[in-house]
Amino acid sequence: MKKVLFNLLFLTAAISLLLVFLYPQKLSEEIQSDETVISELNTPETTIYVSSEEDHQKKIKQIMESYDTSLLSSNLNTYSKVFLEDTENQLREIAIKNAGIYASMNINKFKEKHDQIRGVYLNGYLFNNPSKRESIEEILTKTDVNTLVIDVKTDNGHILFDTDIDEVLYLNNERVKFTKNDIQDLREIKDLYLVGRLVVFQDPLFAKVFPDEAVFDSRLNKPYSQNGQFFLDPSSKKVQNYIINIAVESCRLGFDEIQYDYIRYPDSSSKFMQFDTKNDFENRVDNINSFLSKSRQLLHNEGCLLSADTFGYILTNKQDGGIGQNLETIVQNVDFISPMVYPSHYTNGSFGYQNPNNHPYEVITAALTDALDRGVDKNKIRPFLQGFWHSNEDIRNNIKAASDLGMDWLIWNILSVYELDSFTKLSQ
């Protein structure tokens, strides 16, 4: 602000000098008037020298010639550039904020009507399976479940809808299971919130066809594999653009939200892994979060929100676990996180329980509370709960733990096998 005031004062002074230079006639009239008044005064008989118009003009000319007009031009150009940059940045910030507000409108209205996001995962490969669709529709129509998470890009690298993305045409990795009309037809079953699950950096097809974009194994001289999983390098711009293009097209199919899964580095300590950038905390976190930030903005522009599946332990671990998932940074770059707080995945002794899988309510409560204690807004946490290796009562305790903390929830079962008794039934 001080710079702006200084430049305005400077500009005013400069314009005043220019007016004097450009309108000497008016000045000369004022000088003549002064001379007339002076001549009419009764003065002692002493010699009084009155500058002539020519003298005034010479003096003005000398002042203008001595003034460095290039400085004025430079300051004006600098001020204009700063002003335009500031205006552009402000307009960009307004556009980003408005896009985010618009993208959030649907879920805000949905939650006003339904109170909570209560979801189950539908394996995309089973989308058209008659018996599976029948069981899912029964869950939707007879219980309070109101959200579906459906694969759009799978762990195998398959795209489950028709697209003209260049890499998809080259990889021939389409396995079409649904169309835009199919997604819209789901809303005929019930008022639903729809989430498209997109597997990001775990992709065997892309890694094998584009090995330069994959995490490399220096010992075997080929793309790194971890128990059959092939990871793409999170810093690869080709990979990032490929994922973003899929995400945007998925949004246009009619999903309300795109959920990134495997948004991480390999959870491995292998010394033979090679990346394009140094594999340290700073680079891992920066590569993950800059990509998330860019993805979110582009999805907001399309009217979709962005969420990310994470390991459950990041709620407790204050670093990144060697995978680039750091709680404090990742929540800033997505609309929601879905930590996989599966009791069966915690080691013996976690949260004081020798067998965590036998204490779903207590373990999930403790894990989610760790995130709240670190200052994370509960509305940004929508945990993935365990819908496998658990009884119906255990699953209900999973749900109760999240609900008691005022959080939305999703249930994960890779085969999408669910029973009515796991959920709250609707009144008939």
pTM attached to this predicted model: 0.80
| Residue 49 per-residue DSSP state | -
pLDDT tens readout for residues 68-106:
667 777 777 787 777 776 776 666 667 666 777 888 999
Residue 55 has what pLDDT? Answer: 73
Residue 283 lies in a domain: yes
Mean model confidence pLDDT for the chain: 88
- Nearest to residue 198, comparing CAs of 235, 160, 230? 160
Cβ-based neighbours of 155, under 8 Å, separated by 6 or more: 199, 202, 229, 262
Q: How far is CA 344 from CA 268, 354, 385, 395, in A?
A: 20, 11, 11, 12
Tokens of residue 165, six digits = 């993305």
Q: What is the mean pLDDT of residues 331-358?
A: 97
Q: What is the mean pLDDT of residues 59-76?
A: 71
pLDDT tens readout for residues 235-244:
999 999 999 9
Query: Which range among 25-29, 154-158, 248-252, 276-280 shows the weakest confidence by mean pLDDT?
Result: 25-29
Residue 8 lies in a domain: no
25 pLDDT more than 60: no
> What is 89-147 written as a DSSP string?
HHHHHHHHHHHHHHHHHHHHHHHHHHSS-EEEEE-GGGTT-HHHHHHHHHHHHHBS--E
- Nearest to residue 189, comparing CAs of 112, 134, 150? 134
In sequence order, what are the beta bridge partners of 151?
Answer: 197
48 pLDDT more than 60: no
- Are 117 and 193 in contact, with CB atoms under 8 Å apart? yes
> What is the SS3 assignment for 413?
coil
Residue 44 lies in a domain: no
Instruction: Give the percent of the chain with pLDDT over 70.
Output: 83
What domain range includes position 132? 115-422
Between these two residues, 91 and 107, which has the higher pLDDT value?
107
- Are 265 and 231 in contact, with CB atoms under 8 Å apart? yes
What total of structural domains would you count in the chain? 1
> What is the SS3 assignment for 40?
helix
CA distance 94 to 103: 14
Residue 366 has what pLDDT? Answer: 98
Residue 97 has what pLDDT? Answer: 64
Tokens of residue 214, six digits = 């994959």
Residue 341 lies in a domain: yes
Sign of the torsion angle spanned by Cα atoms 225, 229, 230, 236? negative
Q: How far is CA 25 from CA 49, 67, 405, in A?
A: 21, 22, 81
13 pLDDT more than 80: no
Residue 99 lies in a domain: no
Q: What is the mean pLDDT of residues 53-67?
A: 72
Residue 100 lies in a domain: no
17 pLDDT more than 60: no
Residue 239 lies in a domain: yes
Sign of the torsion angle spanned by Cα atoms 219, 223, 229, 235? positive
**Could you tell me the CATH number of the domain that includes residue 287?**
3.20.20.80
Q: How far is CA 51 from CA 26, 31, 32, 48, 229, in A?
A: 16, 9, 10, 10, 93
30 falls in which pLDDT band (50, 70, 90)? very low
Query: Which range among 85-89, 128-132, 210-214, 326-330 shows the weakest confidence by mean pLDDT?
Result: 85-89
Residue 9 lies in a domain: no
290 pLDDT more than 80: yes
Between these two residues, 73 and 247, which has the higher pLDDT value?
247
pLDDT tens readout for residues 129-176:
999 999 999 999 999 999 999 999 999 999 999 999 999 999 999 999
34 pLDDT more than 90: no
Query: Which range among 101-110, 239-248, 308-317, 327-336 shows the weakest confidence by mean pLDDT?
Result: 101-110
